Chain A
Amino acid sequence: MNLQEAFRVVGATMEKSSESLAQLYEAKGEPLDLTDNPAGLIKLANYNLIHGTLESGFWASSMLIELGNAVSGEEGIRRSTPDIEEWAIELERTISRYIGAVINGSDTTERKTLGYIRKLILDMEDGLRSEYARLEYAIATRFEDIDTLEEKVKENKFLIGKFSRLGSKLTDLNRAKLVDLSQNNSTIRLLLFQRLHGVIEECRDGMLSAIPKLEQMLWEFQKQSEASINVLALARHLRDHHGHINYDPEPDEVMDEGFGQISLELNLPCSADLHTEANQSALTSIIHALKARPDHIELVQEEFSPVSVDSTDVEIDRKLDIYGPHLEFISQQADKEVSVREYWERNLKSKCTSKAFITWVLKSFREKESNKIAFTVISETVGPLSANVYVKDVLVASVND
């Protein structure tokens, strides 16, 4: 059979299996169970256009992928890495021939096969560098060279598939594999290591670490694509419905749906209702637990000096001496509500701090537990960001029987 006839046979076989070939091309190297025209598929496998058997399934060879790329106009001019398996088999076979030629002293064959080995190594090196550069470019530019989102998604998916498989295959193409391929020939080993080892290591690591980035990008593109569809649909819907949106959820639903955004207004008092009984009780206990601030201590010391650590009782007695009559006076005036702060401003401003007096009055009323006097605590936060509160005022009123 002459070459022309052979090509005619290949063409006819490809034509008969064109559907299967398209499927295999789309699967980008993944094995498929194909039963249509098995004889044709086996013939195509003999031509290395596809790989596999009826039992194991068939998958596309790099030759079919290249051909498919060219005929579909997708990436005809891109230089790709040869299929690792095919490449390794071809290289091994050529190296065997080279070693045979060396042993037999056949200079011509030795020169020719060595030249072919150099070419095979260059194909792999070039292919890897080119593909790795393409991967880096795609990630760095986020497929800026591609216009539509749909094409970006397609290209992204293609790259993920391609580099996942290539990365895995390159993992097998390690140092031991290169040593094995050289068949203990020092010339070939040197050639393989000088030209390939570093490139394979670099590209393999780069590809494997780039795949998650590609996956993230794909997810973003798909999300963006869905968002585009949603936006266009809603825009059309709103135009048709005079721009009216019926969605009007209650606050609970707003929260549940994750739309609970609200402004932060720090000039407002604490949003908890401070005047409820529960809060007053909690706040009072907080206030009792609070230690005096250093500036507060200084003022108290000025008013009641000298005060020593062990003179607590003396201090209480002195406070009682000074504040006691005022406490009685407030109680007497309490037939109408009395503001302790206002009382302090009128009578005691020059003698003590408002906090010292108000806190003492509050404490005294609590200790007396009089059912004839009612008091309301007015509290405020110390600052806009603080959860601490202080007693601003106490309103005292007598309780009518």
Chain B
Amino acid sequence: MNTRDIADLFSSGARFVCAYAYPKAFEYLSIEANLINANRALVAFDREIRQLPDNGAFYVAPTSLENKKDAAQLKKSFEEIRDAVYPIVSFIELTLKSQTTPGALIPGSPISYPTLLNEITSHDHLLDALSKLVRHKQFKNSKSTPDGQLNVVFERLVDIGLLTLKNRSQLIYEVTGMIEYIHTLIQKINDHEQVEFSQDDEQGELIL
């Protein structure tokens, strides 16, 4: 692993480099001297690598917004993620309702595709939640079976960078460090939209 590998990784579409999706790159960037070297190489592009709080995932950010192209690109990039928040929130809600995870997804949370599918097909309210989930444009597909629909949802979440396939034979996925960014954004949106919390929300994990 070297600076060039890191640059290649980010330029090939990796948005968040975390311990779960890119363990080697994460380990490399966690060494301060390596991070400094990588950032030195990015100076000419007005970019730098930053880290989400609490030793979270690394991501590329512009060093300034004087260049209008950068400002426009930043806004577009943010809007892409913001527009994916509703489908992602619906997916997390589905995992919570299925009781396959004890709380909201966090970096490293394992998700067993077969277990989740089994829960969904065993409960009507979860089947209903899945059919609503695939109405989001990010998850839209022509599949008619729960398996087919859920499979597309997982594929898209891997594409977005939220999930990574950890065990191919058992279909165990892991949540990536991107989820921290999403949770922070959810909190910001809640504050901005002045979302009201009901008792059901506050006892979320109890009623599940």
**Residues of A in contact with B (beta carbons under 8 Å apart):** 146-150, 152, 220-221, 223-225, 227-238, 241, 243, 245-252, 254-255, 257-268, 270-273, 381, 384-387
In the bound complex, residues from chain A placing their C-beta under 8 Å from that of B96 are 228, 231-232
The answer, yes or no, to whether B117 is at the interface (CB within 8 Å) is no
16 A-B contacts, Cβ less than 8 Å apart? A147-B102, A227-B104, A228-B104, A230-B104, A233-B195, A245-B86, A247-B193, A258-B52, A259-B81, A260-B62, A261-B81, A263-B13, A266-B7, A266-B11, A271-B47, A387-B43
User: Is the CB–CB distance between A262 and B70 below 8 Å?
Assistant: yes
In the bound complex, residues from chain A placing their C-beta under 8 Å from that of B184 are 258-259
In the bound complex, residues from chain A placing their C-beta under 8 Å from that of B197 are 229, 233
In the bound complex, residues from chain A placing their C-beta under 8 Å from that of B208 are 148
How close is A152's CB to chain B, nearest CB, in angstroms? 7
CB-CB under 8 A for A260 and B50, given A149-B102, A270-B44, A271-B69: yes
User: Is the CB–CB distance between A237 and B195 below 8 Å?
Assistant: yes
Contact of A261 among B69, B77, B186, B200 (CB under 8 A): B77
CB contacts under 8 Å to A, within B53-93, are 53, 59-62, 65, 67, 69-75, 77-79, 81-83, 85-86, 89-90, 92-93
Contact of A232 among B15, B40, B193, B200 (CB under 8 A): B200
CB-CB under 8 A for A231 and B186, given A150-B206, A238-B86: yes
Contact of B205 among A225, A233, A273, A381 (CB under 8 A): A225
The answer, yes or no, to whether B149 is at the interface (CB within 8 Å) is no
In the bound complex, residues from chain A placing their C-beta under 8 Å from that of B104 are 224-225, 227-228, 230-231
How close is B115's CB to chain A, nearest CB, in angstroms? 14
In the bound assembly, the distance between CA atoms of A149 and B208 in angstroms comes to 11
CB-CB nearest in chain B for A264: B10
Contact of B42 among A225, A249, A264 (CB under 8 A): A264
User: Is the CB–CB distance between B201 and A236 below 8 Å?
Assistant: yes
User: Is the CB–CB distance between B186 and A230 below 8 Å?
Assistant: yes
User: Is the CB–CB distance between B186 and A150 below 8 Å?
Assistant: no
User: Is the CB–CB distance between A234 and B195 below 8 Å?
Assistant: yes
User: Is the CB–CB distance between A264 and B45 below 8 Å?
Assistant: yes
CB-CB nearest in chain B for A383: B4
Given A230-B183, A231-B183, A236-B200, 8 new contacts (CB under 8 A): A149-B102, A227-B103, A231-B186, A232-B200, A234-B189, A249-B78, A262-B77, A264-B47
**Chain B residue total in the interface (Cβ 8 A):** 73
In the bound assembly, the distance between CA atoms of A241 and B192 in angstroms comes to 14
How close is B57's CB to chain A, nearest CB, in angstroms? 10
CB-CB nearest in chain B for A249: B78
In the bound complex, residues from chain B placing their C-beta under 8 Å from that of A232 are 93, 96, 200-201, 204
In the bound assembly, the distance between CA atoms of A261 and B76 in angstroms comes to 10
User: Is the CB–CB distance between A385 and B73 below 8 Å?
Assistant: no
User: Is the CB–CB distance between B89 and A251 below 8 Å?
Assistant: no
In the bound complex, residues from chain A placing their C-beta under 8 Å from that of B71 are 251
**Residues of B in contact with A (beta carbons under 8 Å apart):** 3-4, 7-8, 10-11, 13, 15-16, 40-47, 50, 52-53, 59-62, 65, 67, 69-75, 77-79, 81-83, 85-86, 89-90, 92-93, 96, 99, 102-104, 106, 181, 183-190, 192-193, 195-198, 200-202, 204-206, 208
CB-CB nearest in chain A for B94: A235
In the bound complex, residues from chain B placing their C-beta under 8 Å from that of A248 are 79
In the bound complex, residues from chain A placing their C-beta under 8 Å from that of B90 are 235
In the bound assembly, the distance between CA atoms of A124 and B59 in angstroms comes to 52
How close is A376's CB to chain B, nearest CB, in angstroms? 21
User: Is the CB–CB distance between B11 and A262 below 8 Å?
Assistant: no
How close is B184's CB to chain A, nearest CB, in angstroms? 7
User: Is the CB–CB distance between B7 and A254 below 8 Å?
Assistant: no
In the bound complex, residues from chain B placing their C-beta under 8 Å from that of A268 are 45
CB-CB nearest in chain B for A251: B71
In the bound complex, residues from chain A placing their C-beta under 8 Å from that of B10 are 263-264
In the bound complex, residues from chain B placing their C-beta under 8 Å from that of A271 are 44-47, 67, 69-70
In the bound assembly, the distance between CA atoms of A387 and B198 in angstroms comes to 54
How close is A223's CB to chain B, nearest CB, in angstroms? 7
**3 nearest interchain CB pairs?**
A227-B104, A224-B103, A149-B103
How close is B1's CB to chain A, nearest CB, in angstroms? 15
User: Is the CB–CB distance between B86 and A243 below 8 Å?
Assistant: yes
In the bound assembly, the distance between CA atoms of A244 and B31 in angstroms comes to 41
How close is A114's CB to chain B, nearest CB, in angstroms? 49
User: Is the CB–CB distance between B186 and A234 below 8 Å?
Assistant: yes
